[in-house]
Structure 1
């Protein structure tokens, strides 16, 4: 009678489970110039693993809409046309990161924007015992950014704000939003002159974060000409970290 050799499959199963666990608890920061595709990449990644996309704009709007204590405080600054102080933003971020949906992981979309915010975030994550997988730096040629943003259209409904591109993802033929039917518009900060000013501001204030996170040993740079290819590259990096 021929004896069959039983191969040890348990270690392989354990390896797969470990990889899945890492992916399903994604904790990353997305950096990149305006038009680098941070929002698109974040959305695709959250659909992949169940993590949540977090931006300071979303946090501020939600807090103001819900009328929380922090929201009322932030609204006072916003109504006066002042910038919301970093200290208040960090208090909101602390509250947001402790909400139940962050247990599956999170993606910080475009935050931090300055070195002081990065230093404050580092202290906050240490306080909450949260370890980042890494920081994603999205690199895109300037001509691609200009083309992306000048052809972008946004739903005018403040409760929707779906984003379109008249070349790659157009709204309805009459210019209305596919989701809610409201008119789509070109934002004032997405004209060529405004975009060039935004890029200059980014280079002055936000680009230094690349060096900050490189020194922290967290930076990974990806080409972001194709959002789909970028997402696949980030997935691969997550499996390896």
Structure 2
């Protein structure tokens, strides 16, 4: 089963993807990881993506699509989670073309619903581990030791794009570019909506596994 986790920044997609990987042997394709890999290796695509990410903007479709296409065509996978991709209708259509080349398809799209006030609260309290990429929150998902990752003891940091001024840019971009995907996949009868308000990570995961018919 290949799935897309769709929702605004801070809705919990990354955390839920981690839990699916740990509990159901899914593989996660995160554009954030692809960007970091290309940035670390100082590829042409990586250098351009770095400038945009640090300024709080989304990476253009052309760059993102090329990174995703390279990954999908060079790797074998089953039960793949698309986390943070596609972000636009154009990306969704390109993804369909890429998957067609491997005789694969998207089975379900999970939409995480959360209002903007709660999104701001979540994002301004988010912490990440630069080593293993796991995410935490100063209130809702605290590490066992303050500012230290539970898994590799690395120091936790605030992402550059999780500062308030950058968050506002990201949320605006989401409404304009990504929100239309809700109707796009709903019209294909692939969309399942989950209300994230008032739920911790474990409660949300139960809803997610039910929606995917895994439990």
TM-score (norm 1): 0.73
Runs of 5+ unmatched residues, structure 1? 1-25
How far has the Cα of 1:101 moved from its partner? 5.4
> Alignment RMSD, CA only?
2.8
- Structure 1 residues 42-97: Cα deviation after superposition (integer angstroms, max 9, x where no partner): 111112211111111212323454x5xxx723134246659765344333323323
Distance 1:51 1:151, change over 3 A: same
1:224 aligns with 2:196: yes
1:115 aligns with 2:89: yes
Alignment of 1:194-205 (within 5 A): 194-205=166-177
From 110, 115, 120, the equivalent of 1:136 is 110
In the alignment, the residues of structure 2 paired with residue 171 and residue 30 of structure 1 have an alpha-carbon distance, to the nearest angstrom, of: 24
From 201, 204, 210, the equivalent of 1:236 is 210
Count of matched residue positions in the alignment of Structure 1 and Structure 2: 208
Which secondary structure state, in structure 1, belongs to the residue aligned with residue 127 of structure 2?
Answer: strand
Which secondary structure state, in structure 2, belongs to the residue aligned with residue 239 of structure 1?
Answer: coil
1:49 aligns with 2:21: no
User: Highest CA radius of gyration, 1 or 2?
Assistant: 1
Which secondary structure state, in structure 2, belongs to the residue aligned with residue 217 of structure 1?
Answer: coil
How far has the Cα of 1:106 moved from its partner? 0.7
Which secondary structure state, in structure 1, belongs to the residue aligned with residue 139 of structure 2?
Answer: coil
Which secondary structure state, in structure 2, belongs to the residue aligned with residue 220 of structure 1?
Answer: strand
- Structure 1 residues 82-131: Cα deviation after superposition (integer angstroms, max 9, x where no partner): 976534433332332345552x3110001111111111112112222112
Runs of 5+ unmatched residues, structure 2? none
In the alignment, the residues of structure 1 paired with residue 37 and residue 152 of structure 2 have an alpha-carbon distance, to the nearest angstrom, of: 20
More displaced stretch, 38-47 vs 76-85: 76-85
Which secondary structure state, in structure 1, belongs to the residue aligned with residue 104 of structure 2?
Answer: coil
1:189 aligns with 2:161: yes
How far has the Cα of 1:137 moved from its partner? 0.7
In the alignment, the residues of structure 2 paired with residue 110 and residue 234 of structure 1 have an alpha-carbon distance, to the nearest angstrom, of: 17
Distance 1:228 1:72, change over 3 A: same
Which secondary structure state, in structure 1, belongs to the residue aligned with residue 2 of structure 2?
Answer: strand
